[in-house]
Amino acid sequence: MIIKPRIRGFICVTAHPTGCAANVQEQIKVVRNRGPITNGPKRALVIGASMGYGLASRIACGFGSNAATVGVFFDRPASNGKTATAGWYNSVAFERAAHDKGLYARSIVGDAFSDELKAEVVKLIKQDLRTIDTFVYSLASPRRIHPRTGVIAKNFVKTIGDPFCSKALDTDKGKVTESRVEPATEEELQQTIEVMGGEDLEFWIEALETGGVLEPDATVLTYSYIGPEVTWPIYKNGTIGQAKEHLIRTTLSINDRLKRSGGRALVSVNKAEVTQSSSAIPVVPLYNSLLFRVMKEKGIHEGCIEQIDRLFRTKLYADTEVPVDEEGRIRIDDLEMRPDVQEEIVRRWPLVNSENLYTISDFGTYKAEFLKLFGFGLDGVDYEAEVDPEVNFDE
């Protein structure tokens, strides 16, 4: 079949297997071109490994440090004339590239929140790797079935306290609009924390430690985001931000425990990137479009893989002590939050409108990066050619 992008709101419901493979190869090339990551991971487990920061982390481990990797994600294969999800194609492409290089790479598809999947992962690690020295938790989900109670919680993108009205971006029409977000109820806030907070991370560490597969000096890594004040009502001070604060507190608590045996648990506050989940957050697509323009003009723009490679190469596994802020967090968003960058975005924010969107911001790059998530717009890929959507993991 000939596969074209079909976009519904902030989701592309098709994905291109050849394009996704090309996207993975582009990211691998970035890491390889920068040389080996000295003293990097050797045996890594990545939760949420199929897209975004999780995929970039797996690539940095595998192709920067020659690490054996286990990736966990919830994606579906092609069926009934429908394409697979982009994460499925990405993961198949990663495994094939890793195997071609002689690297161990296994993927487990399923509900990362479940106790059954955790047990399956522990069994695989014991069987094939014995232990892991790196655990990356990069999970984003619209809902969670609690493994102990069976209660379903949903992820709500809402404010806390008051409604929030601001400029937004209709990415389908390419127009600057107004957005109003209603405040969450206490129940919606608690459900969001259930989904995106730190409890599942705690359950994963418990399963790995109980199973005897977490090295005493292991590195545990989680990801968060803060961003500028213009996004705070809907992110930092909203339901998602509160869930992330819970994740951060959990990570730092785990760090206090792990450091007794030489291990560590760290939070990296990352730069704004185009991801499937962030595309659904009002204000963020418009902010990202302005950010990309300003950072490109200053020659400091980074994509997801460049940022994670820099995190591993210059922060986590450098010969110096890991630099953290006053709250114990790594700030790999340092370039985004530079005063000169943020001052310029603040200057442009009241000026941007539908007429000057493509000149005052970089909405073109935003759209291109969004399509790349699903394997579209990659150089060297013939999108008019017939392609088999059924791509599966090698036995």
347: exposed, middle or buried (Cβ count in 10 Å: 0-12, 13-18, 19+): exposed
Asked about 235 being catalytic, the answer comes back as: yes
What number of other Cβ atoms are within 10 A of residue 193's Cβ? 21
Report d(CA 141, CA 246) in Å as an integer: 16
CB 75 within 8 A of CB 84: yes
Tokens representing residue 248 in the block: 């951060």
State how far the Cα of 231 lies from the Cα of 205, in Å rounded to an integer: 32
Under DSSP, the state recorded for 167 is E
Calculated CA dihedral for residues 28, 33, 35, 41, nearest 10 degrees: -20
d(CA 257, CA 251): 10
Task: Please tell me which residue in 137, 223, 225, 235 is annotated as part of the active site.
Answer: 235
And the tokens for 243?
């869930």
Under 8 Å between Cβ of 78 and 390: yes
Sign of the torsion formed by the C-alpha atoms of 84, 86, 92 and 96: positive
Contacts of 132 (CB under 8 A, 6+ apart): 43, 44, 45, 70, 125, 208, 213, 214, 215, 218
| Residues 68 and 42 sit within 8 Å (Cβ to Cβ) | yes
Place of tokens 């007794």: 260
- Contact by Cβ (8 Å): 154, 184: no
Distance CA 344, CA 32 (A): 34
- Cα–Cα distances (Å) from 301 to 58, 167, 383, in that order, read 21, 23, 28
Looking at residue 12, its amino acid is: C
Of the candidates 255, 218, 267, the one whose C-alpha atom is nearest the C-alpha of residue 43 is 218
Active site residues: 235
